Amino acid sequence: MTADVVAEWQDRIRAAAAARTPLAIVGGGTKAFYGNPTAGELLDTRACAGIVDYEPTELVLVARAGTPLAEIEQRLADAGQMLAFEPPHFGPGATLGGVVAAGLSGPRRPWGGAVRDLVLGLSVVDGHGTLLRFGGRVMKNVAGFDATRLMVGALGTLGVITEVALKCLPVPRCDATRAFECGADAAIQMTNDWSARGLPLSATCYWRGTLAVRLSGAEPAVVQAMRTLGGTSVDNATSFWASVREQTHDFFADGARTGDALWRLSVGATSPHAGLGGEQLIEWGGALRWLWQPSSIDAATVRQRAAQAHGHATLFRGSDAVRVAHGTFAPLPAPLHAIHERLKATFDPARILNRDRLYAGL
């Protein structure tokens, strides 16, 4: 039945390519806010769903793109395993395909790996309507170009993902969260020191004078690290980290009510707090900063500040008009943009797949 669905998509994509009809690829629609607005006939990936193979001893799960993320996480949890990149759902219907296409990782990312590190292989239908399979089910694979990683974060502009093989990891045997009252720069300094010393950090979050640090691992290692770190205990740590991951934390909820735009700054971890343009929620030991800015602000200024901090700024949430005006993603230097155009032409010469969503014209 699923083979039929994929064959149907192939036919549809071939026809759309011939007619130059844009297609908008949608799973649960939970990340529709992310990326530039795109228009086109709906291609709903949820028809291609289900866990194809999961062998806990193998630490590998293979599922079709339309499978709900919640279903996958439940199945893993039943076997004491997890997706170490803690992908945000951003809504009840999030699908695996959307997780991979968006390429977004959660609080554990600097220590547990990113989406791209834990996707072992995938199948996609490209813009020619050809079903392609990349990678496999093993961690180490150097057979040919790494097309698997190209799909992660491409927002569906290179192909429609049909199936994904993921590396899973055992849930740590022990978790503990400690809190510290401190300034932003002190928080950044401390978390980087601890990380360099090999302490078992698995998440950090700083906001308004409080640093929260999660430790994960074997019990003796976590207990020893707690002694080293000090700090105070945190109530409801599980729901706290879920609120950071799902952006239901007060920082996000309060900002969303103002009509401002949410910026995601990916910067050098030790970049000072000042100079990035306002109050930030700081994750990943300093490498990820969230920042609300008025929609009227000059996007170039935000991006320049991020570039000075050795990184880049993404207009993560904002009205359609703001995203169209500024583009979700920082503009690329001309030679890099040219490479993007050539890759797009290789996968999707008719430019029918999620046109404009990553960059205008792509």
Q: Which of residues 253-272 bind other proteins (CB under 8 A)?
A: 266-270
Site for other proteins in 153-172 (CB under 8 A): 153-154, 158, 169-170, 172
317 in contact with other proteins (CB under 8 A): no
174 in contact with other proteins (CB under 8 A): no
Q: Residue from 7, 218, 300, 325 that binds other proteins (CB under 8 A)?
A: 218
34 in contact with other proteins (CB under 8 A): no
Dist CA 122 CA 268 (whole Å): 31
Please tell me the total number of residues recorded for the chain in this structure.
Answer: 362
141 in contact with other proteins (CB under 8 A): yes
Site for other proteins in 93-122 (CB under 8 A): 103, 109-110, 113-114, 116-117
Dist CA 323 CA 316 (whole Å): 9
Give 3-state DSSP helix, strand, coil % of the chain, rounded to 5: 35, 25, 40
For other proteins, give the closer residue by CB, 93 or 169: 169
φ, ψ (nearest 5 deg) of residue 99: -60, -45
Q: Residue from 184, 287, 291, 299 that binds other proteins (CB under 8 A)?
A: 287
314 in contact with other proteins (CB under 8 A): yes
214 in contact with other proteins (CB under 8 A): no
Decide: helix, strand or coil at residue 10: helix
Site for other proteins in 328-347 (CB under 8 A): 329-330, 332-333, 335-336, 339-340, 342-343, 345-347
197 in contact with other proteins (CB under 8 A): yes
239 in contact with other proteins (CB under 8 A): no
CB of 90 to other proteins, least distance (A): 17
Q: Residue from 46, 108, 149, 305 that binds other proteins (CB under 8 A)?
A: 149
The site for other proteins, by CB under 8 A, has a size of 82
12 in contact with other proteins (CB under 8 A): no
CB of 188 to other proteins, least distance (A): 9
Q: Retrieve residue 221's tokens.
A: 């290692």
**First vs last C-alpha separation in the chain:** 32
205 in contact with other proteins (CB under 8 A): no
Q: Which span (19-27, 56-64, 255-263, 318-326) binds other proteins, by CB under 8 A?
A: 56-64
Biggest CA-to-CA distance, the chain:
65
229 in contact with other proteins (CB under 8 A): no
Q: Half-sphere exposure (CA, 13 Å, Cβ side) for 22? A: 15
Nearest alpha carbon to residue 137 among 122, 151, 154, 115: 122
220 in contact with other proteins (CB under 8 A): yes
Question: How many Cβ atoms are within 10 Å of 307's Cβ, its own excluded?
Answer: 13
Helices and strands (H and E) in the chain: how many: 13, 17
CB of 258 to other proteins, least distance (A): 25
Dist CA 115 CA 170 (whole Å): 16
CB of 201 to other proteins, least distance (A): 12
Distances (CA, A) of 326 to 200, 260, 352: 39, 14, 22
Dist CA 50 CA 45 (whole Å): 12
Nearest alpha carbon to residue 292 among 272, 271, 322, 337: 322
Q: Residue from 11, 78, 146, 254 that binds other proteins (CB under 8 A)?
A: 146
Q: Residue from 1, 20, 42, 57 that binds other proteins (CB under 8 A)?
A: 57
Q: Retrieve residue 96's tokens.
A: 């695996």
